[in-house]
Amino acid sequence: MDGNTFYFEIEQQIMIWLQSVFGDAGLYIGTFFSQFGELVIMICIIGFVYWCYDKDMGKQLGVAIVTAVCLNPLVKNIALRTRPYMDNGSIKCLRAPTDANEDVLNIAAQGYSFPSGHATHSASVFGFFPFKFKHKFFLVCAIVIPFLVGLSRVMLGVHYPTDVICGWIMGYGVTFLIVFLQKRVKRKWLMHLIIFVLCSVGIFYCKSEDYFTAIGVMAGVFLAFPFEERFVKFENTRKPLFCVLRLAGGGIGFAILDWLFKLPFTHEFLHNGTLVSFLVRSARYFIVVFLLIGVYPMIFKYIEGTKKAKK
């Protein structure tokens, strides 16, 4: 995979200055704040809102984040911007952008730079809550957390400032648009179908695994929601123990299903960069997400039914 090099001179100067000021501590500071833009954290937040706090809110949040997560690699695979440390030897890569097991200079493994996925994810998720909760705390979090996430990516040397700024714009913009449409569109399935079809254009030109992961997740989410509404209809819970159990069960379920659906394939096949391997990746994530969002909540109903029967 080849890439394009483009940047403003001041961007490199800012990055070199940040790394010189923070020194070795920049690794630990940057790594800590980057976690708030990791998909694992995003999934935990969505899981809590959807499985425990408010199912309808969780669906809105889910649509916003999967749209943002899918849009990000669509743009990345057009810009094809290389990482800052690949363009200037004075900028250090303090932490591998994507895969710690691969060479940091391997573009295929580490992905493209523009726009920042972490900035997009954090802005999309944390930018959602001020629309639902009017308390200033959520507005502050929606600004401060994405800012720190974006700053951490620049500090680690894996994103230019413009990568981060455009990531913020994308994340906030997608969330605002989804919240706006959710209030006005009655046929949610039609809105989801249009979003999916528009995002599917990446099949024809995207060459990175993150896109095919995202489009598989999107398909799973969009089909799981109507399935749950028709066949499951689980109820939310605010009880701390049940919330923990639901989240733990979801995490364990994901780990088992992800491992199970990898078994028929070799590591080499799953990461060989061919269209077939990409489509297999999308199919895997589609099945896993559909099962966790649409089918897994049946267990909640069974447990609740068992409790009521004992009373």
CA atoms within 13 A on the CB side of 144: 6
152: pLDDT confidence band, cut at 50, 70 and 90? very high
Among residues 148, 172, 16, 11, which one has the least CA distance to residue 94?
Answer: 16
228: pLDDT confidence band, cut at 50, 70 and 90? very high
**Rg (the chain; Cα; Å):** 20
**Cβ contact 121:174 at 8 Å:** no
CA atoms within 13 A on the CB side of 76: 32
Q: Quick check: is 1 in a domain?
A: no
- 36's tokens: 């708030």
Q: How confident is the prediction for the chain on average, in pLDDT?
A: 90
Phi, psi of 196 (to 5 degrees): -65, -45
Q: Quick check: is 34 in a domain?
A: yes
Q: Answer whether residue 311 shows pLDDT above 90.
A: no
CA dist 289 and 170 (Å) reads 24
Q: Answer whether residue 20 shows pLDDT above 80.
A: yes
227: pLDDT confidence band, cut at 50, 70 and 90? very high
Whole-structure pTM value: 0.90
Q: Residue 44: which domain range?
A: 9-310
148 vs 307, residue with greater confidence: 148
Ordered DSSP codes for 155-179: HTTSS-HHHHHHHHHHHHHHHHHHH
Q: Quick check: is 131 in a domain?
A: yes
Give tens-digit pLDDT for 75-89.
999 999 999 998 878
215: pLDDT confidence band, cut at 50, 70 and 90? very high
Structural domain count of the chain: 1
């099949």: which residue's tokens? 203
Give tens-digit pLDDT for 163-177.
999 999 999 999 999
Low-confidence winner among 14-18, 274-278, 307-311 (lowest mean pLDDT)? 307-311
Q: Answer whether residue 181 shows pLDDT above 60.
A: yes
**Cβ contact 249:243 at 8 Å:** no
**Cβ contact 109:103 at 8 Å:** yes
Phi, psi of 156 (to 5 degrees): -75, -10
CA dist 70 and 67 (Å) reads 5
Q: Quick check: is 28 in a domain?
A: yes
Give tens-digit pLDDT for 97-136.
887 777 888 887 888 999 999 999 999 999 999 998 988 9
Which residues pair with residue 81 across a beta bridge? 4
Q: Answer whether residue 309 shows pLDDT above 70.
A: no
- 252's tokens: 């364990």
Q: For residue 136, with 0-12 CB atoms within 10 Å meaning exposed, 13-18 middle and 19 or more buried, which class applies?
A: exposed
* b/e per residue 41-51 (b: at least 16 CB within 10 A): bbbebbbbbbb
Q: Answer whether residue 91 shows pLDDT above 80.
A: yes
229: pLDDT confidence band, cut at 50, 70 and 90? very high
């403003």: which residue's tokens? 8
305: pLDDT confidence band, cut at 50, 70 and 90? low
Q: Quick check: is 74 in a domain?
A: yes
Q: Quick check: is 2 in a domain?
A: no
Q: How confident is the model at residue 308, as a pLDDT?
A: 55
Q: Quick check: is 4 in a domain?
A: no
Q: Quick check: is 23 in a domain?
A: yes
Q: For residue 183, with 0-12 CB atoms within 10 Å meaning exposed, 13-18 middle and 19 or more buried, which class applies?
A: exposed
Mean pLDDT of 181-203: 92
